[in-house]
Structure 1
């Protein structure tokens, strides 16, 4: 197959940018950030989980993979191999399910697969999102039960945060999820790394590119934050729940296509 011409890619980029601008105004933010900021206001009449989380391909449920060890990789992983033109877009899973579903659909239209680290309390409120993520061809993991600062907790509290979310993932999908990421921290402390291993996660997932979308800097800034740092093997931190991310994602995906970078799940990145 011939590679698309620069003009064709630019045209797709413009179309995606227009699509992002068209849908961004329909949402309000609903996900607290990972750096301790205030929770943005949520819509007073959130959509039902069943309406917002309709499966991408009804009747074709994917089995839920279990965590796996990657020999040669550190316990805390922040990037993948730099020799292959692949990247992992990882989303902190919390907030309005309509925004989450829109972001997943945008990724699917571009042929991209993403990794979602879900908050357990969000899954309690939006249980259909677990299967929606997996049935869309994406990867699902653990982002603690309540999304509070796990680095400040004592051992028993921190372990309960990890296993609480793991239990919900197991109940909804049959697996504890493929990855664990600490809440409100880019890196897990040695204690949290140890507790994650005890809970069944051989690795902790960090990232080397921060979109800063949780600060609501505007869609253009989100795109610049990612495209200015991303390279082969990058793991990018993004969030459900923020309108800027909805507007930025089509442009970001078009730029990845222009650079011949393929968006894959984190597991695929490391295989």
Structure 2
């Protein structure tokens, strides 16, 4: 399935409007709750990650800081994703949308769109497990309908499973009832297969959720939405080397990386990415562990 979700990423003004409505967080703080089945592996020994070349690269999709004070990066500053400016308190009843984790902890979260060839998905999980890494998979419900065994396979491997809608359509363009149906249909699959709807919901065809989508996610039982601050665009199949370079030039403590199952280049890039992260003292953990 060809995905062109970048075409609908929000402008700075749109992000500011989302922020004003509440619920968009730069970091996930120190929350202790975790999704059912999510592990708590020990964190890697802290060490400062070395600087590796210039991260100013046209390969990267940067996160655009919210608000009018956001400035363009200088030639010496990275064009990589950066945390959102300090946000106002969340409106009561508004789901938290997490963009990145704490920057003072040597951990990152590799998050995956769960869809595609089950053989590639299994190979990716195995590569992570061989290196002691835990992933977060935001599964598409229709994929779980076709590959129900992968739900337990993900959790049994020590990874985390969340909701990425039933059919991966443009949820921002849907009516409230349509959006709710997309979220709950996938949640029902997760509950039937694992006993839990999972902690995280990620909107389809969008980096950030609209206020309407947030309302429907909360209505469906999700208090936490999972965004990201680093997008290597692996869905465009640029090859393993490009995926690896795009991640490693921009990753930092607390990064949440958006990746995709079902792409050979991503599977091929993962071992080298995990080895490089370990050399920098960064542990790949689940999103819930990152936010614990």
Scaled by the length of structure 2, what TM-score is found?
0.70
Output the CA distance in 1 between the equivalents of 2:114 and 2:172.
19
Listed as ranges, the gaps of 5+ residues in structure 2 are: 8-34, 39-88
Partner of residue 212, structure 2: 191
Asked if the contact 2:172–2:210 (Cα under 8 Å) also holds between the matched residues in 1, the reply is yes
**Which stretches of structure 1, 4 residues or more, deviate above 2 A after TM superposition?**
31-34, 62-65
Q: Does 1:33 align with 2:16?
A: no
2:121 is paired with a residue whose SS is helix
Task: Report the CA distance between 1:32 and its aligned residue.
Answer: 3.6
2:289 is paired with a residue whose SS is helix
Output the CA distance in 2 between the equivalents of 1:209 and 1:33.
17
Asked if the contact 1:222–1:244 (Cα under 8 Å) also holds between the matched residues in 2, the reply is yes
Listed as ranges, the gaps of 5+ residues in structure 1 are: 1-30, 38-61, 66-71
Asked if the contact 1:34–1:183 (Cα under 8 Å) also holds between the matched residues in 2, the reply is no
Post-superposition Cα deviations, 1:96-154, rounded to whole Å, max 9, x if no partner, equal: 00000000000000000010000000000000000000000000000000011101111
Partner of residue 204, structure 1: 225
Partner of residue 89, structure 1: 110
Task: Work out which of the residue numbers 139, 146, 154 in structure 2 matches 1:118.
Answer: 139
Asked if the contact 1:93–1:118 (Cα under 8 Å) also holds between the matched residues in 2, the reply is yes
Post-superposition Cα deviations, 1:178-225, rounded to whole Å, max 9, x if no partner, equal: 210001111111111111111111111000010200011111111111
Partner of residue 254, structure 1: 275
Partner of residue 78, structure 1: 99
Output the CA distance in 1 between the equivalents of 2:245 and 2:204.
24
1:141 is paired with a residue whose SS is strand
Output the CA distance in 2 between the equivalents of 1:201 and 1:228.
33
Task: Report the CA distance between 1:34 and its aligned residue.
Answer: 5.2
Asked if the contact 2:170–2:206 (Cα under 8 Å) also holds between the matched residues in 1, the reply is yes
Asked if the contact 2:115–2:139 (Cα under 8 Å) also holds between the matched residues in 1, the reply is yes
Partner of residue 245, structure 1: 266
The verdict on how the C-alpha distance between 1:111 and 1:184 changes in structure 2, with shifts beyond 3 A counting, is same
Partner of residue 100, structure 1: 121
The verdict on how the C-alpha distance between 1:212 and 1:268 changes in structure 2, with shifts beyond 3 A counting, is same
Q: Between Structure 1 and Structure 2, which shows a larger proportion of helix residues?
A: 1
Scaled by the length of structure 1, what TM-score is found?
0.75
Task: Work out which of the residue numbers 137, 143, 151 in structure 1 matches 2:172.
Answer: 151
Asked if the contact 1:116–1:138 (Cα under 8 Å) also holds between the matched residues in 2, the reply is yes
Asked if the contact 2:228–2:255 (Cα under 8 Å) also holds between the matched residues in 1, the reply is yes
2:100 is paired with a residue whose SS is coil
2:125 is paired with a residue whose SS is helix
- What root-mean-square deviation, in Å, do the aligned CA atoms of Structure 1 and Structure 2 show? 1.8
Aligned 1:167-186 pairs, distance under 5 A: 167-186=188-207
